[in-house]
Amino acid sequence: MENCRIRWRKVLYEHQAFPDNYVDQRFLEELQKNIYVRQYEYWSVVRESSVVTQQLASVCVFVVLWWYMDQGVLLPHWLFGTGLLFSLIGYLLFDVIDTGQGRRQNGRTRWADLKSATLFLTFTYGFSPLLKTLTESISTDTIYAMSVFMLLGHLVFFDYGANAAVVSSTLSLNMAIFASVCLASRLPRSFHAFVTVTFAIQIFALWPMLQKKLKASVPCCYLGVTVLCTVSALLGLLTISGVAALLFALLLFSVSFLCPLYLIQLQHYKDNIHGPWDEAEIKDDLPQFLK
């Protein structure tokens, strides 16, 4: 029996009295669990999920308006005029909220904006007869399937503000434009096609830019705008088909309210372990260390 208890040290380069795989009662005392887990609060998650709802509502509004034009209920110059008006209002709003800061940053003048706008309009107007006859010989079902696929892709790849690898704002915008061209080719005249494509650009390219600005500076206003959009989308869908409106409402409800609940409940099952075996992280704030 040993009198002086030799303390076991966690080294292998010294010949100790213990076997090589021996550990004492200090085993895993450096283990830490879940130190980086975020604590979610229900209502803030619901507020953040409005980004997804807003995008779903945009897609719905686009499809509804296209449907109206296809039925002949909505006249294209109405849509064109309204769209132009709203774009102008949004542009002014953007400038007011921005207060010149972002403009100074990326150096884009108003003249360049005007040139871009003229370019869009001329190009689309010039190509609209070609766009109208593009898919004449393809069956309608194929067109609908392609559009649905493209719009889904748009929703999947959209930049909701998360830092994930699957996000690609270019791809999502391109898919939306492709879908709009596919749908535009089914309308009666070339002016319809022109209006559809212009409207698609406004709602898929310009509207998210304004949203981001609003969200960053005036969050409560942004929330109000989202609610407005969602309601108008639902109402529009209701006039077309009650079942579709019901399904859409269910979808929105589950995305906004049920998914955050599920997320928070799943947090209980988190079981991340950390310890001295983790990979070293290089910290960026070196000056703080040197102080």
Q: How many CA atoms lie within 13 A of 18 on its CB side?
A: 15
155 binds another protein (CB under 8 A): no
201 binds another protein (CB under 8 A): yes
Contact 200, 183 (CB under 8 A): no
137 binds another protein (CB under 8 A): yes
Kindly tell me which residue out of 133, 217, 241, 254 binds another protein, with binding defined by CB under 8 A.
133
Single out the segment in contact with another protein by CB under 8 A; choices: 28-36, 163-171, 225-233, 235-243: 163-171
CA gap 127, 255 in Å, rounded: 39
59 binds another protein (CB under 8 A): no
Q: Which residue has the tokens 């969200």?
A: 215
Kindly tell me which residue out of 49, 50, 124, 147 binds another protein, with binding defined by CB under 8 A.
124
Residue number with CB closer to another protein (49 or 55):
55
Contact 143, 183 (CB under 8 A): yes
Distance of CA 19 to the CA centre of its chain: 57
199 binds another protein (CB under 8 A): no
Kindly tell me which residue out of 14, 20, 29, 136 binds another protein, with binding defined by CB under 8 A.
136
Q: Which residue has the tokens 């909505």?
A: 74
119 binds another protein (CB under 8 A): yes
Residues 203-232 that bind another protein (CB under 8 A): 205
Closest approach, Cβ 180 to another protein, in A, equals 9
151 binds another protein (CB under 8 A): no
Contact 75, 188 (CB under 8 A): no
Tokens in use for 16?
């100790």
Q: Which residue has the tokens 């706008």?
A: 117
Report helix, strand or coil for 11. Answer: coil
Q: Is 186 exposed, middle or buried (0-12, 13-18, 19+ CB in 10 A)?
A: buried
202 binds another protein (CB under 8 A): no
Q: Which residues bind another protein (CB under 8 A)?
A: 116, 119-120, 123-124, 127, 130-131, 133-138, 168, 170-171, 173-174, 177-178, 181-182, 197, 201, 205
